Structure 1
Amino acid sequence: MMPAEPREDRLLTLLRVGSIFAPEPLEATDILIADGRIAALGRDIAIPTGWSIQVVEARHLIAVPAFIDQHVHVTGGGGEGGCGTRCPEITAHEIASMGIGTVVGVLGTDSISRSPADLLAKVRGLGAEGISAFMYTGAYRVPPPTLTGDIQRDLAWIPEVIGLGEIAISDHRSSQPRQDEIERIVSDTRIGAMLADKRGICHFHIGDGKRGLEPLRRLLSETEIPADQVIPTHVNRNHSLLEEAADYALTFNASVDVTAFDDAGDDGLTGFDAVSRLLARGVPVARITMSSDCNGSLPEFDAQGAYIGMRVARNTALIADWQRLVREGVLPMEQALGLLSGNVARVLGLHDRKGRLAIGFDADVTLLDSELQPQQTFVAGQCIYDSSKVEG
């Protein structure tokens, strides 16, 4: 492997673009970046002579907050059909090429050949490559595997750990946790997060079992846990589950996460269809997020639960579904951006520094062309993807 070329750091970076959605449209067309954060927004920002600065001329592109994917199998998922069905790790290039600047890594079914320590190492590796990366402690099973032997300690002492997940419920691959076990791990996550000044969400994988969201409905109805502590994902796995998710969101003023399946199959819905239907049911757009589940497995099982095959999820569907929502007028750009940026930042507790283009926020910026295709991705002011420099 050839050594990486030395990075040419400058004190300042100035992005000159055609328009800015912060997510609301701004009059500004210049973004001044200093020390990884947005220092100024304006028009024709003047820089004193002699200052060390990199100027990026992109008057034909649209600047938006870099996307946030809260559900990524960064170490690869799968394994339900044996060791030969383990999915590959994701690369920083695959992430950034979709305009994504921040990811949250998860473990899934397999927490035996993969571990929270593996996940932490990968998250830190992505960070070294320029991606803003976090992780959930735990996996499908309960009690969840952890780094320190304790959920609260993981949250309190490990900066990259921002919550617990993905805990599987209503799925034949879950450990069939009792209601009191679910309440205990959510409570532990909440307390650990409070001690660390984090949101500490519990990210729940929802299968197609008959119980659906009932364990989470009971959790919010029978305990003092606030609704923003738990996020159900894959709620568009089938039509009846999506209808239940709409009722759940409206009843508890809760957020739900839609998965951008690249092949929803006969029973499921695409991310585009799911968001459209949730909006039609009256769920506020602020309560909807989208994620990719990329590099996880999409296994198929027969009626008896036997494994019959699988595909590997990709993050291309996430961007395609989002683009379609804007192009077909389901949502205006400023609201649609929330599905992949502002709403996600709020859910994760990162809203004080990510999900917006504003002074003092992380300089995580994606530049889109007129077709809403990512052309450049900046994280903390550093360009980590540039379509014009991709070979082939």
Structure 2
Amino acid sequence: MMPPEDRDAPLLTLLRVGRLFAPEPLEATDLLIADGRIAALGRDLVIPEGWPVRLIEAPELTAVPAFIDQHVHVTGGGGEGGCGTRCPEITAQEIAAMGIGTVVGVLGTDGISRSPADLLAKVRGLRAEGIAAYMYTGSYRVPPPTLTGDVQRDLAWIPEVIGLGELAISDHRSSQPRQDEIARLVSEVRVGAMLAGKRGICHFHVGDGKRGLEPLRRLLAETEIPAEQVIPTHVNRHRALLEEAADYALAFNASVDVTAFDDADEEDLSGFGAVSFLLKRGVPVERITMSSDCNGSLPEFDTQGNYIGMRVARNTTLMADWQRLVREEVLPLDQALGLISGHVARVLGLHERKGRLATGFDADVTLLDSDLQPQQTFVSGKRVYARDGSP
């Protein structure tokens, strides 16, 4: 049964803002929302008298596509130092406060005390709170834990499952999968996704091991798997890996995902520094995305691989690194938006619904102030966050 407050809510919402980026700058300053989607864009849109419309006027703010974070430990990561080191779950408020409307949940090292079923429950909980949430089946390990006992069935029968991840390579915490095991898993994901009408990416956690991206280079060079099926993340873990990521992206016309580490050892390995470096190396901006890894662990190990401590990652660093790219004119706003919206939507196979402000797209909108700080976040037309506390 529909809650009373939803039954009484206006059926239409009209946003009137100062500027609108779709991500390209538009002449329009009005955005009409109906049934969770963008119904019209224009200037001085007129709604017939008596129609049930909610007017939100924010002439000092800029409307952009709500951000998409493709790597979030929504149930919490961690556990490398025992049960007392499990990270907390993230809340819908923490997500929306950063202007993020869509997240993809992942399991990491711990696929034992946390499971795909836990992850699915959290994803559905976030959806109930207004966030557009999806998930990867699997975890670091091979064979991957699944919901149905089979990767292809997870993709085919569970709407929220959009791929496999985060499968760990080049890391002492991984299952050390053989090359044929990687190829088999990616192939299974590809076929399962085809049957489900999804992109079905394989989201690869890349550690700081000496093999780096070699397993993925071999996968694309030795099989028929297209590069769009494979997304390596954490490619700015160290300088040699970042160099390799640039070569990988250029050689295979592939996408790479930069993590907004809040414990980056060097300036060049921050999210800001890594994106700047990849652009200087000639990697097209369309092939670069950024994610937060938030609520995952930031563990520290000694030279023997022994756990010595950890911190919890936050999504505030993603926003800070992204803002800096615009403020320091590494990228203009319209191009920078792709790093955390349009390019991510394409990578995930959500580009026909998300990542743009256009008629027929989901009404996922973030309103930014002049300092690029999110002030309001809308998902499917519903305001899920307002910095001033407005309902």
TM-score, shorter chain, exceeding 0.5: yes
How far the C-alpha of 1:9 sits from its partner, in A, is 2.1
- Residue 275 of structure 2 corresponds to 275
Q: Deviation per CA, 1:3-30: give whole Å up to 9, x if none.
A: x993452110000000000000000000
User: What is the rounded CA distance, in whole Å, between the counterparts of 1:193 and 1:133 in structure 2?
Assistant: 18
- Residue 66 of structure 1 corresponds to 66
Contact 2:268 / 2:277 at 8 angstroms: preserved in 1? no
- Residue 6 of structure 1 corresponds to 5
User: What is the rounded CA distance, in whole Å, between the counterparts of 2:142 and 2:338 in structure 1?
Assistant: 32
What secondary structure does 2:269 align onto?
coil
The yes-or-no answer on 1:92 pairing with 2:92 is: yes
User: What is the rounded CA distance, in whole Å, between the counterparts of 2:331 and 2:390 in structure 1?
Assistant: 31
- Superposed CA RMSD: 1.2
Contact 2:105 / 2:135 at 8 angstroms: preserved in 1? yes
Contact 1:297 / 1:312 at 8 angstroms: preserved in 2? yes
Contact 1:21 / 1:334 at 8 angstroms: preserved in 2? yes
Q: Deviation per CA, 1:327-373: give whole Å up to 9, x if none.
A: 00000111000000000000000000000000000000000000000
How far the C-alpha of 1:165 sits from its partner, in A, is 0.1
The one-letter amino acid paired with 1:260 is: A
Q: Deviation per CA, 1:93-133: give whole Å up to 9, x if none.
A: 00000000000000000010000000000000000000000
User: What is the rounded CA distance, in whole Å, between the counterparts of 1:150 and 1:241 in structure 2?
Assistant: 32
Q: Deviation per CA, 1:244-269: give whole Å up to 9, x if none.
A: 00000000000000000112025971
- Residue 21 of structure 1 corresponds to 21
* 1:269-348 equivalent positions in 2, closer than 5 A: 269-348=269-348
User: What is the rounded CA distance, in whole Å, between the counterparts of 1:268 and 1:50 in structure 2?
Assistant: 56
* 1:41-120 equivalent positions in 2, closer than 5 A: 41-120=41-120
Contact 2:72 / 2:105 at 8 angstroms: preserved in 1? yes
What stretches of structure 2 of length at least 5 have no aligned partner? Answer: none
What secondary structure does 1:293 align onto?
coil
User: What is the rounded CA distance, in whole Å, between the counterparts of 2:271 and 2:304 in structure 1?
Assistant: 28
User: What is the rounded CA distance, in whole Å, between the counterparts of 1:267 and 1:29 in structure 2?
Assistant: 37
What secondary structure does 1:6 align onto?
helix
- Residue 143 of structure 2 corresponds to 143
- Residue 218 of structure 2 corresponds to 218
What secondary structure does 2:39 align onto?
strand
**Percent identity over the alignment?**
81
- Number of equivalenced pairs: 388
What secondary structure does 2:314 align onto?
coil
The yes-or-no answer on 1:30 pairing with 2:30 is: yes
- Residue 258 of structure 2 corresponds to 258
TM-score by length of 1: 0.98
User: What is the rounded CA distance, in whole Å, between the counterparts of 1:267 and 1:213 in structure 2?
Assistant: 22
